[in-house]
Structure 1
């Protein structure tokens, strides 16, 4: 009976050890699972550690920026908008312009420079100057057009100086007519005339009539330079049956190339709006420079340049 008891205790003891081993294995597996899970988390969190390497490279001055990056920065600087005053747009299209160059007759070089532009300009020559006849012959020989630039009494005379052969209000109609005929003799090939100065003379209808009678007898036209807004020259010429025109723009009151170019643009704009325009200028070096630059450009833009005789009616 005693031996049986011992065997039964051994089996009981061995049966108690199995659940404990199973529990231990389970615990170990759980611990292992937690360990692996934690390691996986740590590995995932360590991947973005590459970012500091980029910032470290950017901080290193010894490494120049790639060429493409330089171009991108340069392009951005170029295309960035710059605040500026935009010029007013000018009308486009066709228009007809006649340019009269006053005060010709003192230099042959002036007429050569103007003819070299190879665009029609009308030469208005003051009678009695040293080269008056030579300038008229050169212009005519080159196919150009000649006018007489008649000196007339200005406001402020005699303080305001004038040519010695100029027309005066104090002169008789016969004296005025004789002077005008002498002008035409001194300037060969002239087909028309305009006033030089004359801000006072052109306001006087009686004296202007004496001038215009001579021009009408020679079938010449008259262009009113409009040195006075009260001039009767244009309206009287039309009334008397002469072909006539009037100046729209003075080009070179300001002796500056940029200013003269702006006035030329104004003439072109006026011609496009009205159909035609007459401009007056003088043979200054700055004026010749501006004409040489602008006339070909305006012609290319659709402006037609003609002689003054083609714009009188």
Structure 2
């Protein structure tokens, strides 16, 4: 990016020099003529255009140089107790209560201990990863896209047994997000973003959405994104920030397994609510054989998980999302826990 920036600046300087040479040729003309006035006017417009291009390049350069800092600061859970993902979910929760009934499941994984996946979203820095590792459970960290310049974060991520990428998608109301994929973004923009993620973290196999209530509710857009992810062998997990998500419809039409979040652990951060949500996840796993829970790196949430390890969670297996995906693929299970007809 820096080389491109320098090259563009050099090109613009040469263009300005050329204009100044052109301006110099008019000095010997004693009386301004109409064509010379037009010539000067055109050169003035060119200079203004060059100024705009320089300003744009500087903005882009600043954006790249602060990319990592913005991601690291975007989630401050001490100052902001509600994550933007939970806010996006709460913006749609009244509609969800009205329109979405909780399904009753037959037990799919009958001959094994109930399985639970706990995804920790909104991971943006090393400290959060270190706190997660201290819990000593198979928690699945979902990490915001990492800048190639953030060497420390990349090093730590590469040492993890497993991780996902947390991809910002457009929300219906919550818009204060960095570098979000939006409805009607051109294919090349989405493709480039996924390619950059793959280059920076080449082992990545799973992505889930950060916010995304607007994007995931648009069937055409989700099919477009899934096609791009499929071309990179990346599996999409639906965070279900809206009951209007079209992933279930796509899964049925394409006869493919698309996993989704069953329960948000930390809609509220009091210990009673956290424990209730964890218990609900355990109950679902015992009924169906598995459950997918999503949490965020709040200190209250991490404390609750640590305490639940030998109590609420003692009768279930905590596994990574890739392990569950493989188990369900082998069992011929679709998104809504129905067997695929052979």
Q: Name the TM tier (shorter chain).
A: 0.5 to 0.7
Question: Unaligned stretches of 5+ in structure 1?
Answer: 1-92
Task: Say yes or no: does 1:103 pair with 2:122.
Answer: yes
Q: Deviations over 1:116-169 (max 9, x none)?
A: 2221011111114799764564354242x1111110100025xx3121x11011
Question: Unaligned stretches of 5+ in structure 2?
Answer: 1-111, 330-342
Q: Deviations over 1:191-247 (max 9, x none)?
A: 201110000000112211222122212222211111111111344256557652011
Matches within 5 A, 1:1-313: 94-105=113-124, 107-128=125-146, 134-135=152-153, 137-143=155-161, 145-156=162-173, 160-163=175-178, 165-236=179-250, 239-240=253-254, 243-300=257-314, 302-312=315-325, 313=329
**Conserved? CA contact 1:234–1:245, under 8 Å:** no
Change (3 A) 1:196 1:214: same
Q: In 2, distance between residues paired with 1:241 and 1:199? A: 23
Q: What secondary structure sits across from 2:216 in the alignment?
A: helix
Q: In 2, distance between residues paired with 1:258 and 1:125? A: 27
Q: What secondary structure sits across from 2:173 in the alignment?
A: coil
Aligned to 2:42: none
**Conserved? CA contact 1:270–1:277, under 8 Å:** yes
Q: In 2, distance between residues paired with 1:130 and 1:287? A: 30
Change (3 A) 1:213 1:237: farther
Aligned residues: 215
Q: In 2, distance between residues paired with 1:275 and 1:176? A: 35
Q: Deviations over 1:35-57 (max 9, x none)?
A: xxxxxxxxxxxxxxxxxxxxxxx
Give me the TM-score of the superposition, normalised by structure 1. 0.62
Change (3 A) 1:242 1:139: farther
Give the structure with higher Rg (CA): 1
Q: In 2, distance between residues paired with 1:283 and 1:99? A: 12
Q: In 2, distance between residues paired with 1:271 and 1:131? A: 40
Q: Which of the pair is proportionally richer in strand?
A: 1
Report the Cα offset of residue 253 of structure 1.
1.2
Change (3 A) 1:156 1:202: same
Q: What secondary structure sits across from 1:310 in the alignment?
A: helix
**Conserved? CA contact 2:282–2:313, under 8 Å:** no
* C-alpha RMSD of matched pairs (Å): 2.5
